Chain A
Amino acid sequence: MLFNSLTFLVFILLVYLLFWLFRGWGARKHLLLTASYLFYAAWNPPYVFLLLASTSLDWWLARWISRTDLPARRRALLILSVSSNLALLSYFKYGKFLLANFAAALAAFGIHYSPPALDIVLPVGISFYTFASLSYTIDVYRRDVAADWKFRDYALFVSFFPHLVAGPIVRANRLLPQIAAPRDPTAAQVGWGMSLFCMGLFGKVVMADYVFAPLVDLVYADVGKFGAGDVWTAVLSFSGQIYFDFAGYSLCAIGLALCFGFAFPDNFRYPYAARSFSDFWRRWHISLSTWLRDYVYIGMGGNRHGIWTTRRNLLLTMLIGGLWHGASWMFVLWGCLHGFYLAAERLMSGAPSASFNRQPGRDWPGILLVFLVITLTWIPFRAATPAVAANVLKGLFAFTRPNALYPSATIAQLMGISATVGWHYMQRDASLESRFGRLGGVVQAVVIAGCLIAVFLCSGGDQRAFIYFQF
């Protein structure tokens, strides 16, 4: 069930009522675990067994890892955990993609192979919960985290419904201690949690789905009909759509967790005010980028083995990051481009412009340049096929084709994305909580009411699943 659905509203009201009726922390955890599995079952009931199996296997493996001191055995158990999680992902997420590319590779050598038509339904959230699980076993292996957690607590860590299907990817050392320790959410936590949830819904339902998505879909569906102005508008609008869709969902997840007394980390920190590409990845999908840094980049050696190895590691890490988003060469291309930007940035890290770019008030040209490059790099991410991506790129320079969009629609989109970037620039070093806290009580109430009213006004009609829903 989606956060912006009536089913979820009924679900959360029921769960929250029961949460406060149950006084014991153990009972509350049982309730949250049951609710999380019911939440997951609402997508596709049989896949709860997959979630349970994956959770059970990693919990047992982590315990064995922690109970043995033999390096070879520890390594073998870790490899078993990593390979079983990756096998799950490979089959469900990449099975058809791998087969299709295998057939294409054989065809290049003149060998005709028709792969069987696989009807694999992708389990929702598999990329998120396998990464959460993997981080646990790797941290246990590295002795960063103990492995003596109760199964119920670990299962709740993996499956906790606010972050189960689309993140943020919360680390075991952050969430498990919170789960283990009894807690009563304070009034301030509940108030701020609900506020975050309302603001997240506004971002997703109003800004992503209602304001930006329709125009993006219209232009990307048939780029050849639109002039350069329209295509630029759609490309810029997608930057807005994907930010509000994913950041909105993350805010909802963080807010929901806070209502139950759990603190999740920020997942987005005004990314379109990034001064560099590395700064962008410290602000965009922070839970994924830090996961990739800690378990892939550092695992490959990080920057410890010379400049060329560092660049290779950056490229490979971002390639994996791209592939994580979906089984498509377009996502791989997107990831590779970001890897290239990061590697190129390392090359220039000593350049005078780097320090110039960090001076507040004088950094906006650099910020705009980074935003423009990031925006253009979203093209392969959004395009379903290389042909569509190529058409969009060509469309950016189709100055002889007349623009088909209404000027008022174009202006509204451009104002929306400009306001978004401007807001990011103003907020880049502040927190949402501190900024909101400085508003008076009446203004806060009006802001939250405004979010709810806007969500209500834009409800009804086509329901779009979160972009990151199938990751």
Chain B
Amino acid sequence: MLASAALIFVAFVVMLEMALAARGYRPTVLDSESSWFKQRDRASALGSRALIMIGASRIQLDLDLDALRAGTGLEPVQLAVNGSSSMPVLRDLVDDPTIRGTVLIDYYDGTILGAEGEDDAARYERDYKKRGKQVPSGNQMEEWLTSALHMRLRAYADGASPLDSLRLRVLNPEATPQYLITRPDRSRLADYARVKMPDFLYARAIRDVGGGMALGPGANNDERRRAIEQRIDALLPLDNSAFESRVQVIGDLVALLRKRGVAVVFVRLPESGYELEANDKRFPRMSYWDFFASRIGTSTVNFADIPALKYFECPDGSHLDYRDRQAFTERLAASLDLEKMQ
């Protein structure tokens, strides 16, 4: 009886894996809290050799860590957290005297302007501080085994549970193909050739430019395009009265890092299409980026100001395709001139 039960179980898992493979899904590394902890430990251990990246998905996708290593001579450490503010991690780096390297911060007007909330970065930072007292040794083995299993099974790809994979990828004919994978060093690669364009682009634009669009569920792409363009036309600059005080707060943190000898660079990464248009309307350059760059007290790099960087296209408006990241990173590394930024 047990042998039959085991056989049925194994058959189910194999069939699920085969179904996912047929739909083009591959096993991935899970970008988890524990993988962030590992990189955070590296940031401390590497000392002045560390080139620490903080921010959100743009800096995770756009930068090729191998190219960065070759171009700067430093050891990249990816501490960006998808969909999160850079502030919790920045504070964490300020509080840690072992952080001695260089910090690259993913600049986005909306993140600087917005209030800090309870996002994944805040949770990672808080749990990292508590980690020393609470994690028994057995957990390290469990993390290793879980990671080893999840990296080999498609059912766990991208942090899904097997039930998610079954419901949303196997049984759903409209499932989003797997276009994004995470590497063990926490960088991410996006292959936009695998998604259906321009549907994907319009879906992202609708999400990012905000509500108020009168679109029915059966809207076609022409209707979506018109709605997005009308919405962008109607956008007004956001109130930046809180921006100045936010810049001051960040500037104080940056000053503490620089006093310790840490080089800090804010990098505005590429945007294109609707994303660029919408952000130019909401966050006029003079009131936001230029103001920030003049007050922050450290080096800043804007992709739009550097000829070698300004023509990179983002297929979804916000992130580079993996095919472009190496070239972009090489040119960014060349433009950083880190020695002068100390």
Chain A residues within CB distance 8 Å of chain B: 1, 5-7, 10, 41-45, 119, 121, 191, 194-195, 198, 441-442, 444-449, 452-453, 456-461
Contact = CB atoms under 8 A, between A and B. Distances in A.
B162 A195 contact: no
Contact of A441 (B1, B155, B160): B1
Contact of A460 (B141, B142, B156): B156
Given A445-B1, A456-B9, A43 B162 contact: no
Given A6-B146, A7-B142, A42-B138, A445 B163 contact: no
A1 B138 contact: yes
Contacts of A448: 1-2, 5
A452 B9 CA distance: 7
Contacts of A121: 133
A5 B162 contact: no
Interface string B1-38: 11011111100110000000000000000000000000
A445 B4 contact: yes
Closest 8 CB pairs of A and B: A42-B138, A449-B8, A445-B4, A448-B5, A460-B161, A6-B145, A457-B163, A449-B5
B149 interface: yes
Contact of B161 (A41, A194, A452, A461): A461
Contacts of A6: 142, 145-146, 149
A194 B8 CA distance: 16
Given A42-B138, A449-B9, A457 B166 contact: yes
A444 B1 contact: yes
B211 interface: no
Given A42-B137, A457-B163, A458-B161, A195 B2 contact: yes
A355 to B, nearest CB: 43
Nearest to A39: B138
Interface in B121-172: 133, 136-138, 141-142, 145-146, 149-150, 155-156, 159-163, 166
B9 A7 contact: no
A446 to B, nearest CB: 7
Contacts, number: 80
B161 A43 contact: no
- Main secondary structure, interface of B, reads helix
Given A7-B141, A191-B1, A456-B13, A446 B163 contact: no
Contacts of A447: 5
Interface in B266-294: none
Contacts of B8: 445-446, 449, 453
B150 A460 contact: yes
Contacts of A453: 8-9, 12
B162 A459 contact: yes
Contacts of A442: 4
A435 to B, nearest CB: 15
Contacts of A41: 137
Given A1-B138, A444-B5, A452-B9, 16 more contacts: A7-B141, A43-B136, A119-B133, A191-B1, A195-B2, A442-B4, A448-B5, A449-B4, A449-B6, A449-B9, A449-B12, A452-B5, A457-B162, A457-B163, A457-B166, A458-B161
Interface string B74-115: 000000000000000000000000000000000000000000
A77 B324 CA distance: 78
A460 B9 CA distance: 17
A460 B162 contact: yes
Contacts of B137: 41-42, 45
A6 B145 CA distance: 6
A456 B10 CA distance: 11
Contacts of B149: 6
A191 B142 contact: no
B238 to A, nearest CB: 28
Nearest to B140: A7
Contact of A194 (B2, B7, B141, B166): B2
A332 to B, nearest CB: 26
Contacts of B1: 191, 195, 441, 444-445, 448
A5 B155 CA distance: 17
B266 to A, nearest CB: 34
6 contacts: A7-B142, A10-B145, A441-B4, A445-B1, A453-B9, A459-B162
Contacts of B9: 449, 452-453, 456
A445 B161 contact: no
Nearest to A1: B138
B137 to A, nearest CB: 6
Contacts of B145: 6-7, 10
A1 to B, nearest CB: 5
A442 to B, nearest CB: 8
Contacts of B155: 456
Contacts of B161: 457-461
B108 to A, nearest CB: 28
Contacts of A457: 161-163, 166
